[in-house]
Every structure is written in C-alpha cells, then in structure tokens.
Amino acid sequence: MLQIPDIPAAGLLSSASLRWHAGRAFRFGIVSGAGLALDLTLFLTLIHSGIGAFAANFLSSGTALTFVYLASVRRVFRYQGQFVAGLFVVYVLYHFCGTLLVSWVISRLVHEGAAPALAKVGILPVTFAVNYLFMGWLTANRERWAVR
C-alpha cells in the first residue's frame, strides 16, 4: 500500500512543498502507469476487433479505473477506519462523467481522421493532470465527507 505523507506546512511554492508534490505525482504515476498499460492494451485490442472508439475507450478506461481503485485508491475512502460513502460516490460520478467525456472526445478525433492510438495517447497529459488535481481536492480534508 502506498503511503502518502501529510502536505508540508511550508507555502505552496516552497521547495519542500514542490518535492512533496513531485513525490506524490510520482507515486500516483506508478500505479496509474500500470492502469494505463492495461487501458491502452484493451483499447487497441477492442479497436482492432471492430469496436468503435467510444465504446472501446469506455470499456478500457472502466477496466483500468477498476484496477487502479483495487490496487491503491480504495484506501482513500476510509476516514478514522470507516468507509466514507459520500467520498466514494463523488469519485465514481467524476470518473463516470469524465470517461464519457473523454470517450466522446476520442470518438470525435477518430471520426475526424486521427488514428485511435494517437487520439487516446494525445489526451493523456490533460487527463493525467486533471485526475491528479481532482484526487488531490477529493482527498484533502477527508473528514468533510464523513457523515457526522
């Protein structure tokens, strides 16, 4: 299980804060990289078997997100030993809506003539950054999600 230390008390642009964020992004990247490998492999397999880009991306992304959840993210949904349902619901809704949007974008790019692999890989920097920021926001102050 990955341990994520508390954010350093120093300012947002301090060297300690930047090192902390770099380490956190690296750990996020390791698990996400394995999920990405699964996602791309399944996406290309589905595309080559005749499935459209939207459906292929929706299925491959859903599978990869499930893997990442089971590999590391599920611990995020606990606060003081209790499962926090509200936090989990927001996570699922975000990824469901995000996957629909990204699948649509990929489908449009493919429809406009982009190679499916290029369309999928081309949006990765944006999706990686948005997912990292979302998870940071979601997991900051987990107690706000706990039912009192």
For every one of its 148 residues, what pLDDT tens digit does the chain have, with 9 covering 90 and above? 444 445 555 556 788 888 887 887 787 778 878 999 999 999 999 999 999 999 999 999 999 998 888 877 777 777 777 888 888 888 899 999 999 999 999 999 999 999 999 999 999 999 988 988 888 888 887 777 776 6
Where are the alpha helices (H) located in the chain, listed in sequence order?
Answer: 15-48, 53-71, 85-111, 116-122, 124-139
CA–CA distances in Å: residue 143 to residues 11, 18, 24, 89: 23, 25, 21, 15
* Nearest by Cα to 38 from 56, 64, 59: 64
- Helix 85-111 × helix 124-139 angle, to 10°: 170
Domain boundaries, the chain: 16-145
Do 84 and 42 meet the contact criterion of CB atoms below 8 Å apart? no
Q: Which amino acid is at 75?
A: R
Task: Identify the bridge partners of residue 59 per DSSP, sorted by sequence position.
Answer: none
Q: Which amino acid is at 35?
A: G
**Cα(24)–Cα(5) distance, integer angstroms:** 9
Whole-structure pTM value: 0.75
